[in-house]
């Protein structure tokens, strides 16, 4: 009898697990529970399990039969779900549903398929794109004198403007049939990155027409007539575009714009036509002061119902020539001494035909969705490319400077404290380029990666901030004295611009990465929300129990990996880096479970718990960044010399993930939830440490030494042989210093042996030649290195009355602009 009842119970358990289609991990847990309970069954008697039997069989029947489950479980939960679900505006819904997800969804799912990631082709340039980089982009960089641009002209020289137009730099995303270059996302990104290492002003001027703006909006949504008219003119520079979204009262909350358009009838060429009367005020509009065509976002209203529909038609986009009556282009802004054109504009009773709406009448009210979908593309390319260019510049220049600059008779790069900073610069530059490449790969695979684009926008601009800060520390006074030979100062000044635009970083981290990622990357959550909104019980049931199965699977996987140290997780790589894949799999599962607990315990209030959301977003972000690093290392043939950079970047991400998870556990409203998660997912406490001193030193050596690893790390950066260029002079000094090192080592050995007097080896050249320790040619190498060093450590100086006349003219012209006065009043 006991055996029969036991078999019945086992059969019911198997039926329940099979009917619920639970994954293999849940089967393992079930078997473990059975084995743990077996002594109770066979010592206390089968009747001891009668209560369990009476509960288990009805539960199996309810959950295993879909019709019963929907009636008894899903329907009540659906009603409760709809009650607890937070309100969501149309603009929030459109933002959440815009774009697509790809690799980041696997990381959110808790069990990433690393083989799939590595099987994606590496990001590559076409032959045409490489020729453009080697030709027109090289020529453009050679034409640029950033000190002249930012200090003297406060604009690009006219010949640079003309060259940008002639070579179709403004048409990189425009197809060839319209006269554009039709570059891939990776090609476009590589162009911006190279220019950014030379001049932020030139990079911004180049990237804005190819980012979120008229060309991209026309390509995705424009009518054929609009495309045929504007795209050729944008490609060849006959039209300079800008896009006006931000205003004095609508910054990060751009959807709250007060700018209005009203449908009206207007007499045009002797006949009454349907038009729009617009009034707006915008600011911070890049290229606005020189634009010939203005993309405008506004709210459209139809109070007379001339279009036959609702009164409030929603956010709409239009393309308007800037010479249209009623448009006023304001005075320019000066964003932190950068010279790219940026300024306010406003419109007073500007009348435009309906045909100027981007996409025509069919796109009325769809402006916010259009912007959100295009933002993913632009945010994936422009600022990540600019940040990576700055990172490569910092890495190449700081390593060379630290090898050349001497203090205490020693190159400063040999001091451990300096090497720590250099290692951080090199590791960050490697990570930034890897993330840039992975994200452009997504765009080139026709994804619109809304979550990944937010990740790289935030984290690459923040890492740029850290890298440039570190580079300034290395350069010391050489970095803070402005002048023609300062290659870091303007980048340093420009950092807050990147932090602010295309979604302020605080907003992006606190609200977007996890807030949007939770709904878009989770396999079931968005379907639950959508089916609940529609009241679709069948879809809700399917999504809900898929969600339950996923949670059980991830919980089992996370606990098992925590106990086993992820030793049994799959890793598609050689032993040297296999543990990185395993640990990221473990942390992906731990993140998935933590996110589920946060969502279940906080519900809609998680939207308001921005610090928790930010930390969860950091975890997802660092999983993505570490994935990008592993893929880059694999794509480049697992170069041994690059391994220190891989090790630094992955260890930094692992440590950051662990730190953020522990912060989440410490700040959950329920302390019990935090303790439970910490105990189950990290049973042995924190296990991931920050990169060690040895790792930092090895990473620093990559940029302290002349060689292929340094060139790979800074590949794509503009490096010139022009003897008057400060970076070229630094490269020359670095090369000469490297060549002189064997000679100096020979002199040091002679000093240790007592053949030469102790002291600075550079001061013993004459004595070393006289004693035949080195020859005159070797001594000449050292002298040449000394001269080169003295040249590159010099700083610019100016007359005492420099800028006084300019300041006097500023004082004479000083007055409040109308916009400032209005803001103050």
Q: Are 463 and 391 in contact (CB under 8 A)?
A: yes
d(CA 786, CA 64): 81
**Closest to 343 (Cα-Cα) out of 196, 203, 244:** 244
d(CA 649, CA 630): 9
Question: What's the Rg (C-alpha) of the chain?
Answer: 31
Residue 763, token pair as written in the block: 């001061």
Q: Are 365 and 91 in contact (CB under 8 A)?
A: no
For 752-809, give the DSSP string. Answer: HTTSS-SS-GGGGHHHHHHTTSS-HHHHHHHHHHHHHHHHHT------TTTTHHHHHH
**Closest to 164 (Cα-Cα) out of 187, 141, 194, 196:** 141
- Looking up tokens 């009043």, which residue turns up? 825
- Torsion of the alpha carbons at 251, 253, 258 and 259, rounded to the nearest 10: 70
Catalytic (active site) residue 502: yes
Active-site residue identified among 502, 577, 596, 647: 502
CB atoms within 10 A of CB 667: 13
d(CA 822, CA 825): 5
Q: Is 325 exposed, middle or buried (0-12, 13-18, 19+ CB in 10 A)?
A: exposed
Give the list of residues 6+ apart from residue 65 with CB closer than 8 angstroms, or none: 19
Q: Are 202 and 131 in contact (CB under 8 A)?
A: no
d(CA 710, CA 426): 9
- Specify the DSSP class assigned to residue 356: G
Q: Which residues pair with 281 in a beta bridge?
A: 346
Pairing between β-strand 293-301 and β-strand 241-244 as defined by DSSP bridges: parallel
What's the Cα-to-Cα distance from 493 to each of 393, 398, 482, rounded to whole Å? 15, 18, 11
- Looking up tokens 């969705």, which residue turns up? 369
Q: Are 732 and 738 in contact (CB under 8 A)?
A: no
Active site residue ranges: 502
């Amino acid at each position: 009898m006991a055996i029969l009842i036991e078999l019945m119970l086992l059969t019911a358990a198997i039926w329940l697990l099979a009917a619920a289609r639970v994954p293999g991990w849940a089967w393992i847990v079930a078997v473990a529970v059975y084995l743990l309970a077996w002594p109770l069954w066979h010592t206390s008697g089968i009747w001891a399990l009668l209560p369990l039997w009476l509960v288990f069989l009805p539960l199996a029947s309810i959950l295993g039969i879909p019709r019963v489950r929907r009636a008894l479980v899903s329907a009540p939960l659906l009603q409760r779900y709809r009650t607890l679900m937070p309100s969501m505006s149309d603009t929030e819904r459109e933002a959440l549903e815009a774009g697509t997800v790809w690799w980041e969804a696997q990381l959110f799912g808790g069990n990433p398929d690393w083989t799939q990631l590595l099987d994606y082709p590496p990001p590559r340039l076409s032959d045409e794109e490489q020729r453009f980089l080697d030709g027109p982009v090289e020529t453009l960089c050679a034409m640029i004198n950033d000190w002249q641009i930012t200090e003297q002209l406060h604009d690009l020289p006219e010949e640079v403007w003309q060259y940008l137009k002639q070579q179709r730099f403004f048409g990189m995303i425009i197809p060839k049939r319209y006269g554009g270059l039709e570059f891939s996302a990776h090609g476009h990104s590589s162009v911006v990155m190279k220019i950014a290492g030379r001049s932020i002003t030139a990079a911004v001027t180049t990237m804005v027409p190819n980012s979120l703006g008229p060309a991209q909006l026309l390509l995705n949504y424009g009518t054929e007539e609009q495309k045929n008219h504007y795209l050729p003119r944008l490609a060849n520079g006959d039209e300079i575009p800008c896009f006006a979204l931000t205003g004095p009262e609508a910054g990060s909350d751009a959807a709250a714009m007060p700018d209005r358009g009203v449908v009206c009838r207007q007499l045009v060429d002797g006949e009454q036509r349907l038009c729009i009367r617009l009034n707006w005020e915008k600011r911070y509009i890049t290229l606005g002061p020189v634009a010939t065509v203005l993309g405008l976002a506004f709210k459209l209203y139809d109070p007379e119902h001339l279009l036959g529909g609702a009164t409030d038609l929603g956010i709409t986009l239009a393309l308007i020539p800037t010479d249209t009556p009623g448009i006023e282009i304001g005075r320019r802004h000066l964003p932190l001494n950068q010279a790219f054109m940026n300024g306010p504009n406003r419109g007073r009773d500007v009348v435009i035909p309906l045909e100027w709406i981007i996409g025509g009448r069919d796109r009325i009210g769809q402006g916010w969705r259009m912007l959100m979908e295009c933002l993913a593309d632009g945010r994936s390319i422009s600022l990540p490319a600019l940040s990576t260019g700055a990172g490569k510049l910092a890495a190449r220049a700081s390593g060379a400077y630290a090898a050349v600059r001497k203090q205490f008779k020693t190159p400063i790069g040999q001091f451990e404290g300096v090497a720590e900073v250099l290692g951080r610069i090199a590791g960050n530059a490697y990570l930034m380029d890897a993330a840039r490449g992975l994200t452009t790969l997504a765009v080139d695979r026709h994804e619109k990666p809304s979550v990944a684009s937010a990740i790289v926008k935030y984290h690459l601009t923040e890492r740029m901030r850290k890298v440039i800060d570190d580079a300034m520390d290395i350069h010391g006074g050489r970095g803070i004295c402005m002048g023609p030979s300062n290659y870091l100062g303007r980048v340093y000044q420009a950092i807050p611009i990147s932090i602010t635009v295309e979604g302020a970083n605080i907003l992006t981290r606190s609200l977007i990465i996890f807030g949007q990622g939770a709904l878009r990357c989770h396999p079931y959550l968005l379907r639950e929300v959508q089916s609940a909104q529609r009241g679709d019980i069948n879809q809700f049931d399917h999504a809900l129990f898929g969600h339950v199965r996923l949670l059980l699977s991830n919980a089992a996987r996370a606990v098992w990996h925590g106990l086993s140290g992820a030793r049994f997780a799959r890793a598609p790589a050689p032993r040297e880096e296999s543990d990185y894949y395993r640990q990221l799999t473990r942390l992906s599962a731990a993140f998935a479970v933590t996110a589920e607990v946060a969502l279940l315990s906080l519900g809609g209030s998680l939207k308001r718990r921005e610090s928790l959301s930010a930390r969860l977003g950091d975890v997802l972000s660092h999983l993505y960044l570490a994935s990008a690093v592993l893929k880059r290392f694999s794509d480049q043939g697992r170069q041994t010399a690059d391994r220190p950079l891989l090790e630094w970047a992955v260890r930094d991400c692992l440590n950051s993930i662990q730190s953020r998870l522990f912060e989440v556990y410490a700040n959950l409203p329920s302390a019990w939830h935090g303790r439970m998660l910490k105990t189950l997912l990290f049973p042995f406490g924190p296990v991931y440490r920050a990169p060690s001193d040895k790792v930092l030193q090895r990473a620093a050596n990559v940029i302290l030494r002349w060689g292929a690893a340094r060139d790979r790390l800074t590949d794509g950066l503009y490096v010139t042989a022009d003897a008057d260029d400060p970076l070229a002079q630094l490269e020359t000094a670095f090369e000469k210093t490297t060549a002189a090192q064997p000679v100096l080592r020979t002199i040091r050995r002679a000093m240790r042996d007592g053949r030469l007097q102790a002291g600075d080896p550079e001061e013993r050249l004459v004595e070393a030649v006289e004693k035949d320790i080195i020859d005159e040619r070797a001594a000449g190498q050292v002298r040449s290195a000394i001269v080169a060093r003295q040249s590159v450590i010099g700083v610019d100086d100016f007359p005492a009355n420099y800028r006084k006349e300019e300041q006097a003219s500023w004082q004479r012209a000083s007055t409040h602009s109308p916009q400032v006065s209005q803001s103050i009043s």
